[in-house]
Structure 1
């Protein structure tokens, strides 16, 4: 059995695990023969073409953490909790939803921003939503980084992906609320594209 056959078998097995599948789909060749990865990707696309339910199941994870977001606007407005898992609640749905849409459209790009731009060019995401989602993602990632650096500066325990909304200015809170609304719209778009509202 050739190396390519072994790797293709490994990909087929990973195809059954959404996490591994998503990770593989986002990988890039860093050295060696790039055509091998392209060949395995072609093989993977063949699985997708013959398994309509797989994409729907894969996309369903975009709503995986909806319960964690319930009532979060009230929390941002100064009530009770001030910690938020920004990756789980906001960054993951954008990255994963974009990945699912890119899979459906057979987009080979692996960068989330590039995928969003190509989806918009193909007419699969409205241009305004595409721009809003890209800007929201940049804001959310910068907010996560800033909060982590602030914790390090003050020798506080670092909680990766968690931000303390008390550290945000009024303007930053408003921007965060706007970003949350954009992510909500994007999740609705992804759910509509994969008929998740009826699943």
Structure 2
């Protein structure tokens, strides 16, 4: 292994990231964004950060010893990031040596450092390429996926669902494609897993009360705020993920999953317009948020009465969509 960076290279690294943070504040926090343009801006900044991390790793340890892919998970993969976002990502590489393992974990740590310095919060659950669980060779990844699915426990199935919402940011597309193909084949051979996946994501949070009022947080740091992510977005996201697993849709974007659903699900496909509009409204409602911790909650005082009616409609529609998919899988209707 080569030595850590010299003081001069460290200063250069810090300066590059400071400049990229300044660029991020201009590019990301542009209040004229649509949801699609915001995702393109996030990709631009994140790619630059990852390239800086790769350059730093090459300066420390030499060129990459093999082909690899760096992929996003979560909202970044689904192209659903808000103005502020945290980190969910991983690495797949070719080769099995200890040197490969050490090199790419180091790259993962440099990526976490770079993204943190340009405004992307590290993941609380350590779902990041700096964690060996999310930074493995292709063969190790297949063994891990197989283990998660065979174990068939809540936590291991949660890891599987987290991995499935993934998209290559830089590197070899074929590596991620191979893992998703393996996952599809396993689920096809073990269709009971679709029912198990619904149990993993089926605890929907209630969004409206007895008098059709929107329900806000009653305690904690978000007291008085409405949880847009958990209550409104996630029923659509989780439902479409289940159908993507069933129909072997590789794209992680919820909107793309709507697009690629077969015609037998036309009633569900018809809800795509609602989800598109919901994503645009979220941009409008959260554009003035100053920190990641607040980006998923909105104050109903700042939302017009007609928009609150839309929120209630989307709460009901999203929950119905998920429950319909859940019922079909539990009864074996689509398996």
Give the alignment's TM-score, normalised by structure 2.
0.49
Q: Distance in 1 between matches of 2:175 and 2:246?
A: 22
| 1:1-199 matched pairs, under 5 angstroms | 2=96, 3-15=137-149, 16=152, 17-66=156-205, 68-69=206-207, 71=209, 74-76=212-214, 83-119=225-261, 122-127=262-267, 129-132=268-271, 134-152=272-290, 159-195=294-330
Aligned length: 188
Distance 1:51 1:177, change over 3 A: same
Query: SS of the residue aligned with 1:29?
Result: strand
Report which of the two structures shows the higher radius of gyration computed on alpha carbons: 2
Q: Distance in 2 between matches of 1:136 and 1:84?
A: 19
Superposed CA deviations along residues 24-54 of structure 1, whole A, max 9, x for unmatched, are 2121234443333232222222321232222
Q: Distance in 1 between matches of 2:253 and 2:211?
A: 30
Query: SS of the residue aligned with 2:226?
Result: strand
Distance 1:72 1:114, change over 3 A: farther
Query: SS of the residue aligned with 1:192?
Result: helix
Distance 1:77 1:7, change over 3 A: closer
Higher relative contact order (CA 8 A, sep 6+): 1
Shift of 1:75: 2.7
Unaligned 5+ segments in structure 1 are none
Give the alignment's TM-score, normalised by structure 1.
0.77
Superposed CA deviations along residues 124-149 of structure 1, whole A, max 9, x for unmatched, are 4224x4232x2322333333333333
Q: Distance in 1 between matches of 2:210 and 2:161?
A: 28
Q: Distance in 2 between matches of 1:147 and 1:27?
A: 26
- The answer to whether the 8 Å contact 1:62/1:92 transfers is no
Shift of 1:151: 4.5
- The answer to whether the 8 Å contact 1:86/1:140 transfers is no
Shift of 1:55: 1.3
Q: Distance in 2 between matches of 1:135 and 1:108?
A: 21
How big is the alpha-carbon RMSD for the aligned residues of Structure 1 and Structure 2?
A: 3.1
